[in-house]
Amino acid sequence: MSTTTPPPESHEPDDLLPDEADLRRHYANASRPEPGAELDARVRRMAEQALDETNGEAPDQSPRVARQRGHSRNAGPARGQRGSGRRRPRTWWLAAVGSVAVAVFAVGLVRHQHIVPPAAQAPARADHAPMSSAASMPANSAAGRALSATRRGEPQAGSASSGPNKKMPSAGASPSPIPPLPTAALQAPQPKPKPEPPSFELVAPSAKALRKPAAPSRAPTPPTPSSPVARLSLRAIPGSTLRATSSASTHDARTLAPEQRSTETKTLQHIRDLFAQDKTEQALDLLKAFRKAHPQQQLPADLREKLPEK
């Protein structure tokens, strides 16, 4: 296959076959019917229409203009920029830019989802205790619970008395590349399992549960394979805030998930906003309801003083 197709007349095929010369002569002498003018016009119109459809009827792309500009081989690429070839790169760039924009938006959204909950919790913690390095581990909800416990002055159960828990990470820690910090962070915050065992202990013995993957969207940094406590803590996250509030009387606030704390923080902020907007009655109703739903939760000072004394 070559691009230098010679004109039919000059094409010299392979050797002539017997009788071919005579037949060629006879064939050449015979009338050579040709398509009529109408058929020519139909074909030409069809070809022109196809170009018009491609070019979107742009005025500078008419065949007359093309003819005026000449048809040498060198003129090809310049004309190519006028026809459909010109729109292709533009479309390509649009698609590429659009894809990048969507990707950036998606990454930003994911980052936002992972970053917002700790940030929302920050004000609630600020009035109690500064953030520790362990609190910066988003996957480690056990550590987060420990912080909550610490700021309420509760004893650190895991630090002294959780012997079995202390051993758990080290038992499976053989291949872990980051044993020191996570282990310490996980061991310290274990709550005391005396009066009411935390919900995660109920599922702890289940090997099946351990194999189940933790919710990935809530754990940007996956727990190390050698830290079953982290897995258990993720398993222990209740499904909804409503359920958590209803069971708040039986469960310690330490078992609350970050989402719940975030919701509480938002509720308190909403109450503050209502006070600020002079919707005192509505704010008080909401504050009372909140207090009733979260009797164990210590209200911030600014809201406590708004609450009428019993």
Q: Which residues are at the interface with other proteins (CB under 8 A)?
A: 1-9, 11, 13-14, 17-20, 22-24, 26-27, 29-37, 39-40, 42-44, 46-48, 50-51, 54-55, 61, 63, 66-67, 71, 73, 76, 79-80, 82-85
Q: How far apart are CA 140 and CA 117, in angstroms?
A: 13
- In the bound state with other proteins, the residue whose beta carbon lies nearer, of 26 and 243, is 26
Which residue, 50 or 242, is less far from other proteins as judged by CB? 50
> 56 or 177, CB closer to other proteins?
56
Q: Using an 8 Å Cβ cutoff, are 145 and 257 in contact?
A: no
CB of 98 to other proteins, least distance (A): 23
- 76 vs 4, 57, 79, 92, CA distance in Å? 16, 20, 5, 21
Q: Using the minimum distance from each CB to other proteins, give the nearer residue, 83 or 138.
A: 83
CB of 100 to other proteins, least distance (A): 27
Q: Which helix (H) or strand (E) holds 117?
A: helix 84-126
Please identify, using beta-carbon distances, which residue of 20 and 127 lies nearer to other proteins: 20
User: What is the Cβ-side half-sphere exposure of residue 242, based on CA atoms within 13 angstroms?
Assistant: 0
What's the N-to-C CA distance of the chain in angstroms? 98
Residue (10 or 250) nearer to other proteins, CB = 10
In degrees, rounded to 5, the angle at the alpha carbon of residue 291 between the alpha carbons of residues 288 and 295 is 150
Whole-number minimum distance, CB 92 to other proteins, in Å? 15
Cβ proximity to other proteins: between 26 and 288 the closer is 26
What minimum distance in Å lies between the beta carbon of 59 and other proteins? 13
Distance in angstroms (rounded) separating the CA atoms of residues 135 and 133: 5
Tokens matching residue 253: 């606030």
Q: Which of 258, 233, 235, 259 is nearest to 142 (CA)?
A: 233
Return the CA Rg of the chain: 39
How near is the Cβ of 91 to other proteins at its closest, in Å? 14
- Measured CA to CA, the distance from residue 157 to residue 149 in angstroms comes to 9
- State the nearest-atom distance from the C-beta of 41 to other proteins, in Å: 11
Q: Are 134 and 188 in contact (CB under 8 A)?
A: yes
Q: Residue 181: name the closest of 239, 240, 224 by CA.
A: 224
- Residue 216 Cβ vs other proteins, minimum distance, rounded to whole Å: 44
